[in-house]
Amino acid sequence: MLRHPAVAGHFYPATAEALKRQVEGFIIPAEKTRAVGILSPHAGLIYSGAVAGAVYSSVDLPDTVVLIGPNHTGLGAPVSIMREGRWETPLGAVEIDEALAGAIAAKSPRIQEDSLAHLREHSLEVQLPFLQYFKKTFKMVPIQMLDTRLETCLEVGRAVGEAIADYGTEGHSERPLIIASSDMSHYERAATAKEKDYKAIHRILALDPEGLYSTVKNHGITMCGVGPAVAMLTACKFLGASAAKLVKYANSGDVSGDYEQVVGYAGLLVV
């Protein structure tokens, strides 16, 4: 199936020229790193684009990416994967890597083939313009998580890690990049949001998926993509990741000027 854009003209411009121009404004000069995984935000690009742009400017992109995002709509299966088709943005269409998607789904019964969860969800869609800016041709595997219990997050992460490890033994020269999509604290004062968010960021820097999960829960951090982030970290550790780096932290007040009710954004590399 062809998945049409759900938030073009809302979260980002609806025309290719305007979208490319907006993304280009967020790109920074940076040394490229071959990462195992990244964390990138997913708000409207006017707000979170500077953080996403800094992250994508810093990573050497392979030919395949695995995108894991939170399910905000409540539609579809608890953990939903699309195993075939294409995703469209104003910059073109991206094909799903059917072999890798099938391999990931086969690793866990919790991961169900389902397109409904993806049709109106924005968390993965807003990653694509940055990927398309830097990479004309690549494939993707989209996973949406509605079930974010710790055992589910760990199992999804292990499934992704194991499938990517197998992928590397099947003649592929590059390891797929794992992209977790998440914003940080929602509608807090900027100082409070930063204090809370850095507690979570420090757990990511420590490569501690269980610690990230408990920190977010225990401190009331409204990090909407904690499940995808825990899954990404779990997969990265399985694949031998040894360090993480904070690329940029910001909040919506940096754009709106309202620091009383902000959403926080963090961009990190796991290597």
pLDDT value of position 172: 72
Give the other-Cβ count within 10 Å of 13's Cβ.
18
> Residue 240's pLDDT is what?
98
Q: In the structure encoding, which two tokens stand for residue 57, read together?
A: 């400017």
Residue in the block written with tokens 């779990």: 234
Contact 117, 154 (CB under 8 A): no
Residue 238 has pLDDT above 70, yes or no: yes
CA distances from 201 to 183, 197, 249 (A): 12, 6, 10
Return the pLDDT at 171: 67
CA distance 54 to 25: 11
- How many angstroms separate the CA atoms of 266 and 43, rounded? 11
List, for residues 51-106, the tens digit of each pLDDT value: 999 999 999 999 999 999 999 999 999 999 999 999 999 999 999 999 999 999 99
In the prediction, which pLDDT does 187 show?
98
Q: CA-CA distance, 217 to 87, in Å (whole number)?
A: 33
Can you tell me whether residue 82 is helix, strand or coil? coil
Look at strands 186-188 and 262-270 and give their pairing.
antiparallel
Contact 204, 244 (CB under 8 A): yes
pLDDT tens, residue by residue, 222-232: 999 999 999 99
pLDDT, tens only, 243-257: 999 999 999 999 999
Does residue 59 sit in helix, strand or coil? strand
Query: CATH top-level class for 2-270?
Result: alpha beta
Per-domain residue ranges of the chain: 2-270
159-186 pLDDT per residue, tens: 999 999 998 777 677 999 999 999 999 9
Longest Cα–Cα distance in the chain: 52
- Of 159, 82, 177, 175, the C-alpha closest to 121 is 82
pLDDT in tens, 104-125: 999 999 999 999 999 999 999 9
The tokens describing 60, both together, are 């050497």
Query: In this structure, what are the phi and psi dihedrals at residue 49, rounded to the nearest 5 degrees?
Result: -60, -35
Q: How far from the centroid of its chain's Cα atoms is residue 172's Cα?
A: 23
Spatial separation of the C-alpha atoms in residues 17 and 9, rounded to whole Å: 13
Average pLDDT, the chain: 97
Cβ count near 192 (within 10 Å): 12
Question: Of 58, 110, 113, which is closest to residue 81 (Cα–Cα)?
Answer: 113
Instruction: Give CA–CA dist 200/36, Å, rounded.
Output: 19
Tokens representing 168 are 């590397």
74: left (phi over 0), alpha (psi -120 to 50) or beta: left
